[in-house]
């Protein structure tokens, strides 16, 4: 998805303030703060392939106030959720183009006619497990994985961190302060079953 990046610093600052203010004070909730939580819209977070092309990488990240989007051309934009369904993401600096997340979480359809798809993890390729996960599927127990190639940085629901690696057979090896725990990624890439009997889901 090719867009024009906003070059005015003042405009970006204003947008950041506007999104932060809108998140903290949504319509009808004056008097009670309600920041956009990381778990809201978590289905958008992670790596994507523009137009489904594995050579056109895009990413979406969150800092708990707004989203940070980077398209396949390296252009960036802040973003915010729109509506109550939490499946529409607005890219403020890309002329407010709207992206609607599919029900299976594997595709974002943009209002300008383009789309992003989850990069395929099938065959002999490593799956993409970057993003937010939930211990035992409990959305109050968020975990995070940052993936760069086969290398991983993990944070569990308690805030403990680990390093790890992922091979092409969908096996994860991690080191939690000297304790090694392995995990197996399911075929659809949405669950990791750990050797200690626990599991993470998207």
The residues, any chain, with a CB within 8 Å of residue 13's CB and separated by 6 or more, are none
Question: What is the Cα–Cα distance from 87 to 101, expressed in whole angstroms?
Answer: 5
Domain spans in the chain, listed from the N-terminal domain onward: 9-25+36-117, 131-201
Number of alpha helices (DSSP H) and beta strands (DSSP E) in the chain: 1, 16
pTM value is: 0.47
State yes or no: pLDDT of 76 exceeds 80: yes
Q: Kindly write down the DSSP assignment for every residue of 70-126, as one continuous string.
A: E-TTS-EEEEEE-SSSS-EEEETTTTTEEEEE-TTSSEEEETTS-EEEPPP--TTSP
What pLDDT is recorded for position 97?
96
By percentage, how much of the chain surpasses pLDDT 70? 77
Average of pLDDT values for 38-47? 74
- The residue written with tokens 């805030």 in the block is 159
Q: How far apart are CA 35 and CA 24, in angstroms?
A: 4
Q: What is the pLDDT of residues 105-155, one digit of tens each?
A: 899 999 999 999 987 644 446 778 889 999 999 999 999 999 988 899 999
The dihedral region occupied by 137, where left means phi > 0, alpha psi between -120 and 50, and beta the remainder, is: left
The residue-averaged pLDDT of 55-74 equals: 86
Residues 157-174: b if buried by 16+ CB within 10 A, e if exposed: beeeebebebeeebebbb
Say yes or no to pLDDT of 40 above 60: yes
């Amino acid at each position: 998805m090719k867009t024009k990046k906003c070059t005015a610093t003042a405009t970006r600052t204003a947008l950041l303030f506007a999104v932060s203010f809108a998140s903290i004070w949504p319509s009808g909730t004056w008097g009670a703060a309600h920041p956009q939580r990381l778990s809201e819209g978590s289905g958008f977070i992670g790596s994507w392939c523009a137009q489904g092309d594995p050579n056109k990488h895009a990413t979406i990240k969150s800092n708990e106030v707004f989203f940070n989007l980077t398209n396949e051309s390296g252009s960036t934009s802040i973003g915010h959720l729109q509506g109550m369904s939490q499946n529409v993401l607005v890219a403020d600096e890309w002329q407010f183009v709207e992206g609607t997340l599919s029900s299976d979480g594997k595709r974002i359809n943009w209002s300008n006619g383009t789309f992003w798809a989850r990069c395929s993890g099938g065959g002999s390729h490593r799956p993409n497990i970057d993003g937010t996960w939930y211990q035992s599927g409990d959305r109050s127990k968020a975990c995070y994985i940052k993936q760069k190639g086969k290398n991983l940085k993990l944070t569990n629901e308690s805030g403990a961190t680990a390093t790890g690696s992922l091979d092409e057979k969908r096996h994860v090896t991690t080191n939690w302060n000297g304790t090694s725990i392995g995990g197996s990624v399911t075929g659809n890439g949405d669950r990791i079953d750990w050797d200690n009997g626990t599991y993470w889901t998207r």
